[in-house]
Amino acid sequence: MPASTRHHRALAVFVHCLGILAAVPALPTAAPPAAAAQPPPAAAAPTPAPAMPSAPPAVPTPTRAAPPVAKPPVTVAVAPESTPAPRYRIEVRNAGSSPVDTTVRQELPPGASATAITAGGRASRAAGSATEVTWQLKLPARSTTTLGTTLTTAAPDRPLTAPACAFARDGSRPYDCATATWNAAAPAAAQETAGTPAWRRTPVLLAGLATVAVLAIGGVWTWRRRRRPVAAALSPGGPGTVYPRPATPRPAQIRRTPSVWLIVPVAAAVLAGTVGTAAWTATREVAAIDTDSQPTSGAWIGRGANGAIGEPLRESAFEFTVYRIACEPGRSARQCQATVGVRNLTPEQQSWHGRLQRAYLPDGNFVTTDEQATRFANQGRDVFAQPMAAGSRAVLPLVFTVDGQAPPEQLELRSGVFSAGVRVDVP
């Protein structure tokens, strides 16, 4: 083998060995089983090197859906009874496995008073609210307790709405609420009319006879009009045929087109009227959305609703029901707590904000939700922090801090800043 060839081969083997030796320190060193089983002493632990920032995950963390509202241990159902005087049946159910102490309150409508209350209940006037009936109950496990009230009012023919709520023993935290509206029984004549078939009612019979008479008169008149040409043709002095004769040609009439000087002013007037009406309507709608003083009577999304305490009122996304509002007595700056039911009627989760919930005072000013006091009333939970799940319902207290002795005259509740919202009159 020539010397040059041997020299090149030896150099190649030497370079290959250097590459192997350089790669050996990079291989993981197998630790003895005993050393691996024993942790190193704390004193001999080496100083950790500065940690490098971790790379972001390859798959983004999915957004957590709104958690469903936990079912309360105590539920309430209210139903009116078919009696001459307003009467309500209240069912309080404890679905848990342990007894529960609860306070049940039924809010009476303005002008009404209780004439009969089931054992254990008493009527009183709450601070800053109308008359109410209160029960202190100890509900056994998996039991249902039925309560009842009979009311009297100066206007017995008007519907009466009386909501009821079950609170914790201290009366501050609501478990559940329900509402019902009693309507006066219909008169006997109205009941007979309602039970009579439609075709046997007097107005329906009269309308049917009148329709038959009109159709008969119209048919006779049409038949006589068609019979006259035939009788004239068959008469002795007639033309002797029933076929129509060719009509006498009429002179051609010249259609007159309106002048351009008339079309242009009319079109301009119509255009100006349309633009002016649109501008006036837009100005009225924008002016109706007043976020500074009075309740908004218009908005861009949905239709607003007005009602009283105990009436479910729906807006664009939520159904609000104000069951009760009570204010602290004898303080210049006092808190008014409203027990509100909120139901998400949409198929998606919805967020709402405390700054959009307002209490309007007699002087025309308003205050928004006291979020710190509201969180305290909800046992430290921020009810506005998470959106409401689709189809969920919650009953929770909202606290408003007001100045003066007069309670709020109206509450305005809404799901979003552009929602029409609902307005509840406070008695």
**pLDDT at residue number 209:** 66
Domain boundaries, the chain: 74-182, 305-425
pLDDT digits (tens, 9 = 90+) for 147-173: 999 999 888 888 999 999 999 988 779
* 87-96, 186-195, 286-295: range with highest mean pLDDT: 87-96
Q: Average of pLDDT values for 6-11?
A: 58
Least confident of 20-34, 253-267, 347-361: 20-34
| 362 contacts: CB under 8 Å, gap ≥ 6 | 406, 409
User: Which of 394, 393, 422, 410 lies closest to 302, judged by CA?
Assistant: 422
Q: Average of pLDDT values for 193-207?
A: 58
User: From the centroid of its chain, how far is CA 385?
Assistant: 18
The DSSP result for 18-43, as a single string, is: HHHHHHGGGSPPPPPHHHHHSPPPST
Specify whether the CB–CB gap between 321 and 331 falls below 8 A. no
**pLDDT at residue number 249:** 62
* 48 pLDDT above the threshold of 70: no
| Dist CA 161 CA 172 (whole Å) | 22
Specify whether the CB–CB gap between 190 and 201 falls below 8 A. no
Half-sphere exposure of 181 (CA within 13 A, CB side): 10
Q: Which amino acid is at 389?
A: A
Specify whether the CB–CB gap between 166 and 174 falls below 8 A. yes
User: Within a 10 A sphere around the Cβ of 321, how many other Cβ atoms?
Assistant: 25
- Gyration radius of the chain over CA positions: 42
* 166-175, 236-245, 308-317: range with highest mean pLDDT: 308-317
| Dist CA 89 CA 164 (whole Å) | 10
More confident residue, 122 or 24: 122
| Dist CA 376 CA 374 (whole Å) | 5
User: Within a 10 A sphere around the Cβ of 348, how many other Cβ atoms?
Assistant: 12
Task: Write a three-state SS string for 196-263.
Answer: CCHHHCHHHHHHHHHHHHHHHHHHHHHHHHHHHHHHHHHCCCCCCCCCCCCCCCCCCCCCCCCCHHHH
* 256 pLDDT above the threshold of 80: no
**pLDDT at residue number 135:** 95
Mean pLDDT of the chain: 76
pLDDT band with cut points at 50, 70 and 90 for residue 18: low
| Backbone φ, ψ for residue 110 (5° rounding) | -60, 140
Q: Is 106 helix (H, G, I), strand (E, B) or coil?
A: strand
**pLDDT at residue number 26:** 44
More confident residue, 170 or 104: 104
* 253 pLDDT above the threshold of 50: yes
**pLDDT at residue number 124:** 85
Q: Is 231 left (phi over 0), alpha (psi -120 to 50) or beta?
A: alpha
* 336 pLDDT above the threshold of 80: yes
**pLDDT at residue number 46:** 47
| 394 contacts: CB under 8 Å, gap ≥ 6 | 69, 341, 342, 383, 388
The rounded percent of the chain whose pLDDT value lies above 70 is 56
User: Within a 10 A sphere around the Cβ of 358, how many other Cβ atoms?
Assistant: 23
CA–CA–CA angle 365, 380, 327 (5° rounding): 35
More confident residue, 3 or 88: 88
Q: Average of pLDDT values for 33-58?
A: 44
Q: Which fold has domain 305-425?
A: Immunoglobulin-like (2.60.40)
> Per CATH, is 74-182 categorized as 3.30.360.10?
no
Kind of pairing, strands 160-161 and 181-182? antiparallel
**pLDDT at residue number 25:** 47
pLDDT band with cut points at 50, 70 and 90 for residue 203: low
**pLDDT at residue number 272:** 73
In DSSP terms, 78 is beta-bridged to 90
| Dist CA 339 CA 398 (whole Å) | 6
User: Are 74-182 and 305-425 equal in CATH topology?
Assistant: yes
**pLDDT at residue number 361:** 93
Specify whether the CB–CB gap between 348 and 355 falls below 8 A. no
Question: End-to-end CA distance of the chain, in Å?
Answer: 117
pLDDT digits (tens, 9 = 90+) for 111-122: 899 999 998 899
Q: Average of pLDDT values for 219-224?
A: 64
Q: Is 373 helix (H, G, I), strand (E, B) or coil?
A: helix
For residue 252, with 0-12 CB atoms within 10 Å meaning exposed, 13-18 middle and 19 or more buried, which class applies? exposed
* 346 pLDDT above the threshold of 70: yes
Q: Is 351 helix (H, G, I), strand (E, B) or coil?
A: coil
pLDDT band with cut points at 50, 70 and 90 for residue 332: confident
**pLDDT at residue number 98:** 94
| Backbone φ, ψ for residue 360 (5° rounding) | -95, 130
Q: Average of pLDDT values for 103-113?
A: 92
Q: Average of pLDDT values for 122-142?
A: 83
Least confident of 102-106, 245-249, 338-342, 367-371: 245-249
| Dist CA 295 CA 300 (whole Å) | 15
pLDDT digits (tens, 9 = 90+) for 347-396: 999 999 999 999 999 998 999 999 999 999 999 999 999 899 999 999 99
| Dist CA 386 CA 240 (whole Å) | 94
Q: What is the dihedral of CA 53, 55, 56, 57, to 10 degrees?
A: -130
Kind of pairing, strands 358-360 and 366-368? antiparallel
